[in-house]
Structure formats: C-alpha cells, structure tokens
Amino acid sequence: MSVPAAYVGVVIIWSTTPLAIRWSGEGAGFLFGVSARMVLGALIALILLRMARVPLPWHREARLTYAAATLGIYGTMMSVYYGAQFIPSGWVSVLFGLSPFATGILAAIWLGERVFTPFRIVGVLLGLAGLVVIFGNGLAMDETAAIGVAAVLFGMFLQSAGAVWIKRIGAGLDGLSVVVGGLLTALPLYLVTWGVFGSEIPETLPVRTTASILYLALFGSVVGFTMYFFLLRHIEASRVALITLITPVIALWLGVAFNDEPLRASILLGTLMILVGLALYEWRALRRLLRPGARTSPQERAHLD
C-alpha cells in the first residue's frame, strides 16, 4: 500500500462515515448500530488477517498499541454514535476538522514536535472562531445539539490522543494487526455496554440501516482503520490529521444531498473559517504540495513514496 493511496482512501471513508453512522442507528438505536458494526468488523478483520498471513503480536509494546487504538475504536466511536443522534451528520465531520489542533498540542507534549509557530497560533484561533460562528447559532435551534457537540468533541479528543500515543509507542506494527488487536481489545467493552444499556436485538431492520452497518463494518472499521494506522506508521501524526481539511466539505454536502440536512449561511461561514485555520496550521505542508518544484528532504521524500 502506498501512502498517497491510503491517504485518498481515508479521505473517502471519513467523508462518508458520518452519514453512514446516522443511518446505521435508524430503527435500532445507536448502541445496536455501533456494536453490530464492531462485531462484524472484528470477524472481517480476523479473516483478512488470516488470509494475508499478517502476524498478531502480543508483546508489551503491541498490547500498549492495541490499548491506544481502543481509545479510538471504542471511546471515539461510542461518543460519536451517541452525539450523532442530536446533530446533522455534516457537523460531525466539521467537529473532527479540529483534530489537527488537538493532535498537534498533544504531539508537542508527548512527542516533542514543534507546534506553536505564528501561523499555527493564528490557525488555531481562527478554527476556534469558526466553531463559535457555527454553533453559536446552531445550538439555539435545538437544545439537545449541545449534547451532540460535546460528545463528538470528546470523541475527537480521544482519537487524537490515541493517534499520538500510538506514535509515541512506536511499535512499528502492521496496520491490519493494530486494527485486529484494537478491535479484539474493544469488543468486550462494546458487549458489556450493550449488556448494561442496550435493548433486545431488533427482528427487522430497514435496508438502509443494514447497508450502513455493513459498510461501516468493512470500510469504516477494517479498511479505514488499517489505512489510518498505516499512515500513522509512515508519516507524522499531525500530518495525518491534515486529512480533515477535505472531509468536512464533502461530508456537509453529502448530508445536504442525501439526508436533507440544513446548510445555513452561518454553517458555511464557520466551516470556511475552520478550513482556513487548518490551512494556516499546516501551511508548510500545503506550500510543498502547491510548489511541485520545491526541494524536499530525504525524510519528506520517503513519506511520499
């Protein structure tokens, strides 16, 4: 797998995941949607692991990596599924657009990466201002939206923390191994949560709900996470988060086109502010992409192979 192919794949999957999450909870509840997704995802991942003959190490660094992956596979997903009940699917992607800021700050603390340049400080402030513009008006429409926003923001933080933790451990595991190990570690947590808070398994499901769960199990849980952990192994954690420059715009329009979600002027303005803030935050990486003739270091060239 090449880094560019994995990058494009993650962009597509992350852009479509919020809408699929919204649909997967229809007629059954969000707990069934996320639990069914993870059970199916674990089975699919185990089959793929066996077919690809990829090892599943259980040494200390591997176990720590799986625990870090569980922050995203369980903590983030549970928070996002809960929050997605109360806000449009496009908002989920916009909120995750703030993850480079959280990832960068955590990477500075845990990995010693340099974060606070003048451009990045302005980018963070502009992104936070965009968040205020969007949800300053949006939360007034529905009181429960505050719950959804808080849950998704918490999930975003857990995802960023897990990414930086995996980078800090540096076990160098195959992406599929991390997915399987993380799913196996998270699965008992899902089953306990379902047992405590869940209801009976529904006898019938809408076609759209079933299709969404299957799509999320295969692509959202297995393919997407495998590509994501592959990228974390080959490029900087903060650069992986740059994907969120693209996904909010695609996710917003998918929600409008296929789920009749509102697209108000404040949402467009706030999203634009967040994207500009992210562009400033990752200005060096963007400048290299916009200037093909610019010189790059051997390490940077290796990241693009």
pLDDT score of 238:
59
Residue 300 pLDDT: 42
User: Residue 80's Cα: distance from chain center in Å?
Assistant: 10
H helices present in the chain, as ranges = 3-24, 30-52, 60-70, 77-83, 89-96, 99-110, 118-141, 145-169, 175-197, 207-215, 224-234, 237-240, 247-259, 265-281, 283-290, 298-304
pLDDT at 165: 93
Predicted pLDDT at 290: 56
pLDDT, position 103? 85
Q: How far is CA 140 from CA 62, 144, 288, in A?
A: 45, 10, 41
Q: What is the pLDDT of residue 118?
A: 84
What tokens appear for 13 in the block? 């999957």
CA distance 21 to 88: 11
pLDDT of residue 180: 92
pLDDT at residue 237, as a whole number:
61
Structure tokens at 33: 């949607």
Question: pTM for this one?
Answer: 0.83
What is the full per-residue pLDDT of the chain (305 aa) written as tens digits?
688 888 889 989 989 999 999 999 888 889 999 999 999 999 998 998 999 899 999 999 999 999 999 999 999 999 999 999 998 888 898 888 788 888 888 888 888 877 678 888 888 888 888 878 877 665 555 678 888 989 999 999 999 999 899 989 989 888 889 989 999 999 999 989 988 887 678 888 899 999 999 999 999 888 888 888 788 778 776 567 667 777 888 888 899 889 988 777 877 888 888 888 888 877 776 666 556 554 444 444 444 33
Residue 213: its pLDDT value, please? 94
Structure-token pair, residue 77:
């997903």
